[in-house]
Amino acid sequence: MGKTIIVSNRLPVSVKKVDGKLEYYPSVGGLATGLSSYTQSGSGLWIGWPGIPSEELTEKDRRDITRELRKHRCFPVFLDKALLNDFYNGYSNDVLWPLLHTLPVERTETDRLWKAYKNANALFADAVLHQSKPGNTIWVHDYQLLLVPELLRIQRPKDKIGFFLHIPFPEAKTIHTSKHAAKLLRGVLGADLVGLHTTNYTENFLSACRQLNIGVVGPKQVALSYRTVRVADFPMGIDYDKFSSATKGRSVSAEYQKLLWKYRGRKVILAIDRLDPTKGLAERLKAYQTLLKENPALHSKVTFVMLAMPSRTEIPAYIRLKAQVEKLVKTINKTYGNAHWEPVEYMFQTLPFAEFSALYRRADVAFIAPIRDGMNLVAKEYLASKPQQDGILVLSETAGAAQELKDAIMVNPRKPRTLVQGLTDALTMPPSELKRRVKSMQKHLETHTVDKWADTFMDTLRKPVSVPLPNIAGSLRGNSLQSLFEDYRGARRRLIILDYDGVLQALARRPHEAKPSHETIDLLQKLTSDPANNVIIISGRDRIDMTEWFGRLPLTMAAEHGALFRKHGQKKWVKTTYANREWRKKVDTLFRYFALETPGAFIEQKEWCIAWHYRGASPFYAQKNLVGIRRLLKPIIARYGLQIREGHKVLEVIPGDVSKGTIIREWLIHNHDFVLCIGDDQTDEVMFREVPPGSYSVKVGPGRTAAAYRLPSVSSVHKLLNQLSS
């Protein structure tokens, strides 16, 4: 394996001058942990800014810093105060940070800042080129260095270059408000692999490329004129062992005992975050204020500990936020506190590891409700620090971690009432339910660590990019069928993913006519009776039909192409989209007009989708009016970030972040030694592309497909599943 170069704005080791002497200390953050194995080896190197402006350094200081950092496998990029102010404080944090978090950008004159951003990115790229050789693997990190991959690609067309964005990527309509949007995206696409935290961010990135006409956008990739760039989600984890084992250490145990005494007889609600407008700290304080107002019985029985870590203290928006937060804390304590009880304990500082680790362990509730957050590792650190599973996580659904930590109490920071209700639910949840939820989330975090995140990204980067070719599915018979039977019998954990219409049940003229037959229900009962089988039915049907038909069976259901799902053993349906529904009236009006113009066509309204069915219509009128529908839908689709899904004689409009491929990832992240996925139309193709190599993907009926195999009909599907379940 050749040399690996890590590039980020800050190095894992920072430098400061105290009384004229250089001092070195570790930088804060989990990134260094996950990448240490790539830089601490003899062939690794980390390039970044050492944390001190170049004006404060003599030439000798620079030489000493460079020599000392070499011992840590690091190399410094020196930046002066003016460049730091315009590149880092200016363009990176005043422009890109709010833009990518879907917040207002207050800076209007950005030309000078943009020039500084380009110059700084060029300095980082030059450092990489001088410290590496052709054939090295280069991994660039985060929003401060979006242009670096393209700058490297120009000079090193054959190097393996990866890029990872540690903050959210917004919807296309948001990124397009920047006049530099196309240049930023092209900068990132200098990489071979672009990584983001979640599926939503990945799809937003691809949508932005599509709407700016950058390359040919396909599933998880952007095809440029001379190469293909992969775009995928890699949820970042934490050093789970570090936090879980720390609770047993002497220093953490001592701090924990102090906290037990300090907060005796009280529930502790904990918030730990940087003091940043995206973190929703003021919103959390207001929710707590409402909780105390509405629940006098909680007075003197609960304490809100807020640790707000200093961040970008010289930026006006952060100065205003600090004043707002401190005013709220003062008001709450004055209104509800007394001589023996301070409702909010506020700290504007950083704490040593042992102290905040003890806080994690002591807290009954972690109140993590950012307005927008790429991932939020604090939520994961809290869960790892609960050896007795005696706490609960209240988590914003707009944090990237929400896509993994499904057993947290979800809240919406834009809806204050949900924050209050989330705290209420957390404080009243039975201990057995707390334990169940936390244990489930810990099990996931224990295996999806920061090391695994880094390894998975690097393994993907090193793999050759597969050029998409037309797929010719083979008939599932003979040797291939025998192999399927053998793999099924030898498997201990099987995942079986089934579409409904056209797979389990024959297509009907109207949706309500396609109820499952007794044969279908019997077949599913046999399949699900095997404890090794994890069965998922994923359909365009609404949840009412799905619940009525399959609600009593021990299986998982996903409705409306994955907009909603209900796990096996649970009664509650969970939504996977947070899109608004302002578009529905426009689409409904359009569909109704064309339904009147197309005899036999009709509309089906669902919770998140609207479908235009034309199975009973004349082919002539249907095809003629479909042209008009598609043309008139284009501006609506672009404005609201929607997508069109076309199945058998049906055209559906759904939110852009909904996909069958997205929903099955919820189960694909778990280890299964046998995967069978069966579908029949275009809406299922994304599932076929999503399943891992070695899976059995099967298309029912004719037509081009990404599936590996083909079956001719519903009856052949029944025959196959009956053979497996017998």
The catalytic site residues sit at 499
77: tokens are: 């990029």
Tokens 């500990």 locate to 305
Q: How far is CA 310 from CA 27, 142, 272, 349, in A?
A: 14, 20, 11, 6
Strand partners of residue 233: 196
Give me 381's structure tokens. Answer: 């650190």
Contact by Cβ (8 Å): 543, 500? no
254, amino acid identity: A
507-537 as b/e: b if 16+ CB within 10 A = beeebeebebeeebbebbeebbeeeebbbbb
Residue reference for tokens 């240490």 = 36
The whole-angstrom separation of Cα 112 and Cα 85 is: 11
Write the DSSP assignment of 593-660 as a string of letters.
HHHHHSTT-EEEE-SS-EEEE-TTS-HHHHHHHHHHHHHHHHHHHHHHTEEEEEETTEEEEEETT--H
124, 148 Cβ separation under 8 angstroms:
yes
Q: Hey, what amino acid is at 620?
A: F
Q: Are 231 and 221 in contact (CB under 8 A)?
A: yes
Q: Which 8-state DSSP code applies to residue 532?
A: T
Question: In angstroms, rounded to a whole number, what is the distance separating the alpha carbons of residues 567 and 573?
Answer: 8
Q: 3-class SS at 201?
A: helix
Q: Write phi, then psi, for 654 (nearest 5 degrees).
A: -140, 160
**Which residue type sits at 590?**
L
Q: At what angle do helices 450-462 and 31-39 cross, to 10 degrees?
A: 50
3-state DSSP percent of the chain in helix, strand and coil, to 5: 45, 20, 35
